[in-house]
Structure 1
Amino acid sequence: MSEKPEIPASQAGTDGTATLLFVDDEVNILSSLKRLFRTGGYRIFTAENGAQGLDILQHEAVDLVVSDMRMPEMNGAQFLEQVNARWPDTIRILLTGHAEIGATIDAINKGHIYRYISKPWEDNDILLAIKQALHQKKLELANQGLEELTRRQNEELKDLNANLEAKVKARTEEVRQTMGFLEIAHDKLKRDFITSIRVFSNLIEMREGAMAGHSRRVAELSRAIAQKMKMNDADAQDIFLAALLHDVGKIGFPDYLLEKSFANLTSEERFDVIKHPVKGQTALMALEPLNGAAKLIRSHHERFDGLGYPDKLAGLAIPLGARVIMLANEYDAVQLGMLLSKRLKHADALLFIQEGRGNRYDPAVVDAFMSVMASTVHAVRELALHPEQLRPGMVLSRDLLSRQGDLLLSKDHLLDASLIDQIKSFKQLGDELVIYVTDK
């Protein structure tokens, strides 16, 4: 019959209760010890000889053994020597008389006992000795746990240090790739957003006849002025978007009102027209990315001298972007005949802007505008091509418009084979196109 596996002492008392084993060939001594320790909340086992004690240890997890020295067949020193060999974590205490000092020394050497207690004992002394022994064992177990934790942490730290450089390099590459993907996605979203605004702007102008292309021209000129004034990218973007949509408040106007110049409007018509900046702001307020642009739309008819509308703002109280759009808008409008009672030629339009310096327009904006006008030669050579001449990789240098003025593709769009095929299909429908691209 095979033996059952031995239970290590470290498993004793999983509920926090220590387990004691008393071994003595005198039954009255065992009874006395059991009564003495019963009130301490311990689990207690007793054995009348060493063999019984070993059998109990084999089946029960015991924290501490107290053995008498004088026992038949196997004395206390021999018993504790076996306990030490098989259950070294179990605390061992020897009960001995004064006449047994030699055997006690033997037990200390072979059984590695924690301590010995002389017989007869004082109850308080033996209670305190066992309490201290169990406390010391608890501290040793806690220390072993800390040492094991420290060992594992040191191994982990050693492994981490050994692989840290490789891990950092790999993680950095992951982050770089992720940032690259996010940047590509962000750029695409931004391009799609701008294209959507351009399409919406084009829809606004579909009713305007001679005004077709007005918003796009104002937007391009406004952006050029903003860049000349070294405005940051975010502000220049708001100006560009606001300029594209500056007439959104006119959507509900009747056709005859859109066709009349501001100078020829009746007082009632003028009263309706001057409301369009506020209507434009209100129409865009729900779109958070356009909040900045919406504020510029509200103020794009304010004059530098305070005689504009709708809020009669003056000077630097007018947002800078609105001052820029005001000038760009009127520069294009006077050439279309939408501001004055007659159309102005390009040279006369420039003179009109210069004469408005300090009253209608911010002097700094006028200076930037004149600088833009003086440097209209593009650094990149532009080609005018038919659809059959297009090649993938070419970039549109102008908005691609249908014969009716509808926006097909926005400026700076990169052409690929699919887009070129679509452009060619317009020719098959009878819409002959000229496409302006940059010669990279």
Structure 2
Amino acid sequence: MTSAVPTFSLESRAPSGGATLLLVDDESGVLNALRRLFRPQGYTVLLAGSGAEGLQILAEQPVDLVLSDMRMPGMDGAQFLAEVRQRHPQAMRLLLTGYADIGATIAAINTGEIHRYIAKPWHDPDLLLTVQEALQRRALEQENQQLLGQVQAQNQALSQLNQTLEQRVQARTAEIEQINDMLEKAYEELNENFLVAVTVFSGLLEMREGGVAGHARRVASLVRRMGPHLQLDDRALQEVYLGALLHDIGTIGFPDRMLGKPLSLFSPDEMVRYRHHPKDGEAALMPLARLHGVGRIVRQHHERVDGKGFPDGLEGEAIVLGARIVAVASDYDDLIHGALSERPHSPPHALQILHGGIGSHYDGRVVAALEAALAEPDPEARDDDLIEATQLRPGMVLARDLLSAKGALLLAAGYVFEERVIRQIREFVTGEGVKLTLHVRRTPLAAPGLAPRLAPARSPRDEGAFHA
């Protein structure tokens, strides 16, 4: 018989850490029996006499497990547990049912998703074990949810970190690329200024009385044209080019009477001094680590492939290729300008003399490279505009080196004219009453002053005359 049941009762909580159970049955005797079973186990026990009362308790406080009878007036256990699933899915759900209620039990399983159903009359140890297992499952599910939440949070944080890291890497990469571009441009500018400085210094060697103006630059120009025919890479070609510019640096200590004097007219003492100048040239370049390779070219450019050259009597491949190249280009220029004999030779005759020295003085491959280079159009003789100094305008680009009458470099090819320099040149032309013509590129490549290769510390006024 069903007895009256109070609306609901809340037992005092069990010791800290115990789970909270909600027991729902319309029979007070059943509820009291369940309470006596669970309280000694440390659970907090809540009692309700109907499904509506159970829902009210659930709305007011958290519950870990709900144990409900199947047969109750108004709202049966299947309907009640289905509502619990909808409103409080975190609570585990158990059903007390009789054998005659199998159809309703199946409905409770399907709609309420109960953990287990317990048949009446129950066996106390089995019921306690069932509740314990259900609570353990709930604890595992909660732990899994917490772990899943932590993993999701960590994944989100990791994703944000990766995104931030990618952005930082991209920003850092862009910064490094910008720095590399700046360093590359700075290196190019430094290298260009270094080449201009070497060219200026080479020109200064030829400014002394009796010096052969332009010899070093002409030899360097020939070397540059010969490079592709000898498969020289950019680095090797630049080293040989510098060696050509500086190959006579050891003559800086020669007395004036020796400068410009043909070798055939040298006295024995002068010849001894002349044969020592390659060593002096290498010694002059030794303090500059960047020019050590150039120094070897300077020292060896008077060696002969048959071993009868000076200063070391090197033979064949023992002579660095750069020195063999400079030797051919230098002797060719000396021949056509009269530095090796009392009279200059024509270019064809000079080449004939060089051919006669193959195997003794010269490397045949290098002579062939010179001949091939001379057969090609001179790249410096391109179709530029030839203008007078009075026609100069800011932004015009110098197409060929501007030299003094003695061969000193005043402005290097590629210089972009600016108003100050134009004014200085015009003042010189007007004051000295000379005519000055310059080769300029037809299409300016840059704005005024952006890419100057100006030979430093020189003024057009210093030299007395220009030619370009």
TM-score calculated relative to the size of structure 2: 0.62
State whether residues 247 and 276 of structure 1, in contact with CA within 8 Å, keep that contact through their aligned partners in structure 2. no
Pair 1:131 & 2:136 matched? yes
State whether residues 58 and 88 of structure 2, in contact with CA within 8 Å, keep that contact through their aligned partners in structure 1. no
State whether residues 19 and 44 of structure 2, in contact with CA within 8 Å, keep that contact through their aligned partners in structure 1. yes
Q: Distance in 1 between matches of 2:363 and 2:335?
A: 18
State whether residues 92 and 138 of structure 2, in contact with CA within 8 Å, keep that contact through their aligned partners in structure 1. no
Q: Distance in 1 between matches of 2:300 and 2:100?
A: 110
Displacement of 1:23? 1.4
Tell me the secondary structure at the aligned position of residue 24 of structure 1.
strand
Gaps in structure 1 of 5+ consecutive residues = 1-17, 39-43, 151-170
**Shift in alpha-carbon separation, 1:268–1:125, aligned structure 2, 3 A:** farther
**Shift in alpha-carbon separation, 1:341–1:139, aligned structure 2, 3 A:** same
Displacement of 1:426? 4.0
User: Once the two structures are superposed, what CA deviation does each residue of 1:259-283 show, in whole Å capped at 9, x if it has no partner?
Assistant: 3777555587357523235335533
State whether residues 222 and 329 of structure 2, in contact with CA within 8 Å, keep that contact through their aligned partners in structure 1. yes
Pair 1:436 & 2:426 matched? no
Larger gyration radius, structure 1 or structure 2: 2
State whether residues 108 and 114 of structure 2, in contact with CA within 8 Å, keep that contact through their aligned partners in structure 1. yes
Displacement of 1:220? 0.4
Tell me the secondary structure at the aligned position of residue 410 of structure 2.
strand
User: Once the two structures are superposed, what CA deviation does each residue of 1:91-143 show, in whole Å capped at 9, x if it has no partner?
Assistant: 53214254583664454354332333453343555444443455467668888
State whether residues 278 and 310 of structure 1, in contact with CA within 8 Å, keep that contact through their aligned partners in structure 2. no
Amino acid of the residue matched to residue 273 of structure 2?
E
State whether residues 206 and 212 of structure 1, in contact with CA within 8 Å, keep that contact through their aligned partners in structure 2. no
Pick which of 117-126 and 221-230 moved more: 117-126
> Which residue matches 1:279?
283
Matches within 5 A, 1:50-89: 55=57, 60=62, 64-69=64-69, 77=78, 79-88=80-89
Amino acid of the residue matched to residue 101 of structure 2?
I
Pick which of 357-366 and 267-276 moved more: 267-276
> Which residue matches 1:213?
214
Pick which of 416-425 and 352-361 moved more: 416-425
Pick which of 268-277 and 399-408 moved more: 268-277
Matches within 5 A, 1:25-424: 26=31, 29=34, 33=38, 46-49=45-48, 55=57, 60=62, 64-69=64-69, 77=78, 79-88=80-89, 90-98=90-98, 101=101, 104-105=105-106, 107-118=108-119, 119-120=122-123, 121-122=125-126, 123-132=128-137, 134-135=139-140, 190=188, 193-208=191-206, 209=208, 210-248=211-249, 253=253, 259=259, 264=267, 265=269, 269=273, 272-279=276-283, 282-285=286-289, 287=290, 293=294, 296-297=297-298, 299-309=300-310, 312-333=313-334, 340=340, 342=342, 344-346=344-346, 349-375=350-376, 380-381=382-383, 384-391=386-393, 395-403=397-405, 405-413=407-415, 415=417, 420-421=422-423, 423-424=425-426
> Which residue matches 1:163?
none
User: Once the two structures are superposed, what CA deviation does each residue of 1:117-171 show, in whole Å capped at 9, x if it has no partner?
Assistant: 4533435554444434554676688889999999xxxxxxxxxxxxxxxxxxxx9
**Shift in alpha-carbon separation, 1:261–1:56, aligned structure 2, 3 A:** farther
Identity of aligned residues (%): 29
Gaps in structure 2 of 5+ consecutive residues = 1-16, 25-30, 156-169, 444-468
Q: Matched residue pairs, number? A: 384
Amino acid of the residue matched to residue 385 of structure 1?
I
Q: Distance in 2 between matches of 1:186 and 1:429?
A: 43
Tell me the secondary structure at the aligned position of residue 357 of structure 1.
coil
Report the RMSD for the aligned CA atoms in angstroms.
4.9
State whether residues 96 and 104 of structure 1, in contact with CA within 8 Å, keep that contact through their aligned partners in structure 2. no
Amino acid of the residue matched to residue 22 of structure 1?
L
Q: Distance in 1 between matches of 2:292 and 2:33?
A: 95
Displacement of 1:323? 1.7
Q: Distance in 2 between matches of 1:270 and 1:312?
A: 15
